[in-house]
Structure 1
């Protein structure tokens, strides 16, 4: 995810932070120590956890800003702030632990060290844990819903939504989020600018978002376009979510903002490269989301999403394709 929470999100984190010394029977400790996009794919299984153990307090071990944002939305009840896959603070034990982070053994071992009464997780013989098998070619949302549903918490892709779809007002802007965490998933800025210029010529306002580190990237996209507004580096998570929610359509690569659009049922066009959309694409409301990908689903040979060079599948996506998909979604948004 490109946009990181700012000061406002840190203040909210203090509000939702849970003292580990209070985690015990009656609590569920869920590990998902990942970024925004990963956190949003976990909304559906987290709702399954709520159904599995109604009345329990759900504490999410996750980065502070993302965790606090989900707590503010009521998806979880509190946050145990952790920056990644690191040892958890000591707890009294007796709680239920749920591993939504990975298949182990390290993530399992970190949760087991918190002395839970029960661990819900995929099978990890190296950690001494028996559970359902991990399927490497499974969609991320379906994978975690399968785990939680099998443990007694029914859930599915429809639980990803944070709100119902709302028709966009006539003056709603097009949101372009050109950044991504790695070069492999970063479509060239000049191509985004071409799309932005053509949509502005159609009469649409353009809003560009990103992190402070992506200021030069955003400046390239909006250069010379009077109808384009650069909000790069100005938004915390709440502000980003509101901006996405107010857009007519969101254009981005396979990154956190795409998952925000899916969660808010906002129309989107998502450009995929090294990772197949069958694993990470929108899992609900297919009419609202257009996926552009030039990979071969039968090839079983994917690229490295963390590589430092543009993936060839993403490079094959043309501005004409993105423009056509955006115009189609914009046309549908007005009806």
Structure 2
């Protein structure tokens, strides 16, 4: 077998022959999808004649439809334990949520597509590897913990690893070396939809996302508001984004920021949370000078679109999800290793580690002034790159 080494990554094994149809398994949310895009671009380059089908979730389908990228089509996953969670009973997966008939129909349809190659890019494989094998693909590759069923080609799953690089290593198992991929590009109709949001009287556009799926990853609303007010006072337009569940949080940030501003600048900070679909959000982020956010899906989307970002991270999340470069992206990081309320060790994370039950933010101590300065520095870089 031909084996090459990709600098900074793992081995690039020999390509599989006669690959026309590739399936990639990836559940989860927006950020989970964006982690895989470097690997998907690598696969598309290595197998230019093949179609790449993402086995994903509704938000993944929305992103693929709204942007030009490496995904040719999306098949929605059925509810399946450890792959695509359904309704939950508290913190415990509800076994009754699994629809056996829907799973059987899904696998029957996928087997009929006769995939040549299926890649598992969803965790350590305890649940996702058996799921992938049921597709009936000729070849398989992916990550694997010691207790997971093996695939044809396997990468040991260690929790603390940069996620995009992890999936690039999996692509390498399939013979696809890392490539410099172009940024995502929003479809024209979404670019048209956001034209009216831009205030041409303001010197720059900063998009702020104060939310995160895990409350512990959220910078406090008052900190975001102070930053938004400081940026607006410096001449920026600040638009606060989020999904429908984050409308109240976004509105709180906007109202706190507006109170801190003189009357002449109060129109510079507004919330559009809950008003944009994923394609419009992508178009807005592509237009932004800089994005300021906690570790969240929209921040990862902004990075994939080529927009500079300032991210607020807990140290463990920075290892797994933080951007590598610093010319276009800045990371502010909390080094807490224990729960602020009960003192429980919070570094033991992953698929099986228990949650102490407290959702206190882990990133309260990051100074607003330092964050604002990084946004201003990247704004100057962004405007220079765009010729403004």
Give the TM-score of the pair, scaled to structure 1. Answer: 0.82
Q: 1:153 aligns with which of 176, 182, 198?
A: 176
**Equivalents in 1 of 2:217, 2:155: separation in Å?**
31
Alignment of 1:258-277 (within 5 A): 258-273=299-314, 275-277=316-318
For residues 69 and 376 of structure 2, what CA distance do their matches in structure 1 show?
35
Counterpart of 1:295 in structure 2 is 335
Note closer, same or farther for the CA distance 1:55–1:333 as it changes in structure 2 (3 Å cut).
closer
SS at the partner of 1:270? strand
Q: Is the 8 A contact 1:44 1:160 kept in 2?
A: no
Runs of 4+ displaced beyond 3 Å: 86-89, 123-126, 169-172, 303-308
Alpha-carbon distance, 1:93 to partner: 6.1
**Residue aligning to 2:167:** 144
Structure 2 counterpart of 1:3: none
Corresponding residue for residue 95 of structure 2? none
Deviations 1:268-302 (A, max 9, x none): 1100025342321113x4201110003279xx963
Distance in 2 (alpha carbons) for counterparts of 1:334 and 1:94: 48
Give the whole-Å Cα distance in 2 for the aligned partners of 1:47 and 1:75: 6
253-262 or 321-330, which moves further after superposition? 321-330
Aligned 1:1-335 pairs, distance under 5 A: 26-71=20-65, 72-82=67-77, 85-86=83-84, 87=103, 88-90=106-108, 91-92=111-112, 94-95=114-115, 96-123=117-144, 126-129=148-151, 131-156=154-179, 158-159=180-181, 161-162=183-184, 171-223=203-255, 224=258, 225-273=266-314, 275-283=316-324, 285-295=325-335, 302=347, 308-312=358-362, 314-335=363-384
Answer whether contact 2:290 2:307 (CA < 8 A) is retained: yes
Q: 1:185 to 1:271 in 2, by over 3 A?
A: same
Check 1:220–1:147 CA distance in 2 against 1; reply closer, same or farther (3 A cut).
same
Paired residues, number: 302
**Equivalents in 2 of 1:195, 1:316: separation in Å?**
14
* Counterpart Cα distance in 2 of 1:83 and 1:256: 22
After superposition, what is the alpha-carbon deviation per residue over 1:115-153, rounded to whole angstroms, capped at 9, x for unaligned?
Answer: 111111134564143523223332111111011113201
Structure ID, larger Rg: 2
Give the Å deviation of 1:171: 3.6
2: CA distance, partners of 1:278 / 1:82? 28
Per residue, is there more strand in 1 or in 2?
2
C-alpha contact 2:225 2:254 (8 A) present in aligned 1: yes
Structure 1 residues 103 and 180, CA gap change in structure 2 (3 angstroms): same
Structure number with higher relative contact order (C-alpha < 8 Å, ≥ 6 residues apart):
1
**RMSD, matched Cα:** 2.7
What TM-score, normalized by structure 2, do the two folds share? Answer: 0.71
Q: Please tell me whether the aligned partners of residues 141 and 151 of structure 2 are also in contact (alpha carbons under 8 angstroms).
A: no
1:45 counterpart SS class: helix
| Alpha-carbon distance in structure 2 between the residues aligned to 1:179 and 1:26 | 40
- Name the CA distance, whole Å, in 2 between partners of 1:27 and 1:192: 45
Deviation of 1:160 after TM superposition, in Å, equals: 6.9
Please report how far the alpha carbon of residue 233 of structure 1 lies from its aligned counterpart in structure 2 after TM superposition. 0.2
Is this contact kept in 2: 1:273–1:311, CA < 8 A?
Answer: no
Q: Secondary structure at the match of 1:293?
A: strand
TM-superposition CA deviations, 1:62-101 (whole Å, max 9, x none):
0123224225524111110126615443222642211111
Structure 2 unpaired stretches of 5+:
1-18, 85-102, 186-199, 259-265, 338-344
